[in-house]
Amino acid sequence: MHVIFRESHGLDEADTPQDLRQTPADLVVLSLSDSDLGAFASGWRRAKATAGADMPSLRLANLVALKHPLSVDTYIDNTLHAARGILIRLIGGVPYWPYGLQSVAALAREKGIALAILPADGRQDRQLDELSTLPISTLRRLGDLCATGGPVAAHAALAQLARAAGLYATPVLGDKALPIYGFWAPKQGLTSPLITETTEHAAPRLAITFYRSFLSAGDTSPI
């Protein structure tokens, strides 16, 4: 029987338990933001294209699906228990997901898992630092990469987490920072404003304006 820590406005206050049915993986990323998870999915695909079979396996889950304490216990038993590295990006600090954080932190210390719990609001959080098992310098580096967003930064964050967990990760090439605004093309990615045509009779062009968040989440397929 587990003690349920109740906090006002917390994720664990009243919800139906869920079983995400995810098999174990080397690395696990949990976040409240689908944009975060999309970026990590794109970053892992980018890493896989580079490293192939050498890239650690990855599982992603939204913390909203882990509201209930029983959901947390089930996810730990089914997925997290075999992880080598876990990254949690959280808005609201410890009071927002108290049972989950305490349970995952206890698991990480018992199993020797590299655990990074990062604030997603741009502010440092000493409580999250203390629950994590990684050095402050590594937590800050991971926090900066997550705040930057985009597949390259997410790839770099996964590589950083993998190395912290004692796993192999290839060097990450490419600009990890995304510009505040700019130009993007499907084949070239981020480009200069002018893209020269290679044919004499170029087809007409249509500029599509979209939010930077699509790019930071690696969700450019609709564009």
Looking at residue 64, its pLDDT comes to: 94
Looking at residue 12, its pLDDT comes to: 52
pLDDT in tens, 181-209: 778 777 777 766 555 555 556 778 788 88
Domain span holding position 42: 27-164
Look at residue 179 and tell me if it is in a domain.
no
Looking at residue 198, its pLDDT comes to: 52
Look at residue 185 and tell me if it is in a domain.
no
Phi, psi at 99, each rounded to 5°: -65, -45
pLDDT confidence band for 20 (50 / 70 / 90): very high
* Section 110-130 average pLDDT: 95
Look at residue 58 and tell me if it is in a domain.
yes
Look at residue 153 and tell me if it is in a domain.
yes
Report how many domains make up the chain: 1
Rounded distance between C-alpha atoms, residue 12 and residue 127, angstroms:
19
What tokens were used for 39?
A: 């970026």
Please indicate whether residue 191 or residue 131 has the higher confidence score (pLDDT): 131
The residues with which 89 forms a beta bridge, in sequence order, are: 31, 118
Look at residue 31 and tell me if it is in a domain.
yes
Looking at residue 5, its pLDDT comes to: 38
**Are 94 and 10 within 8 A, CB to CB?**
no
CATH of the domain at 135: 3.40.50
Please indicate whether residue 88 or residue 202 has the higher confidence score (pLDDT): 88
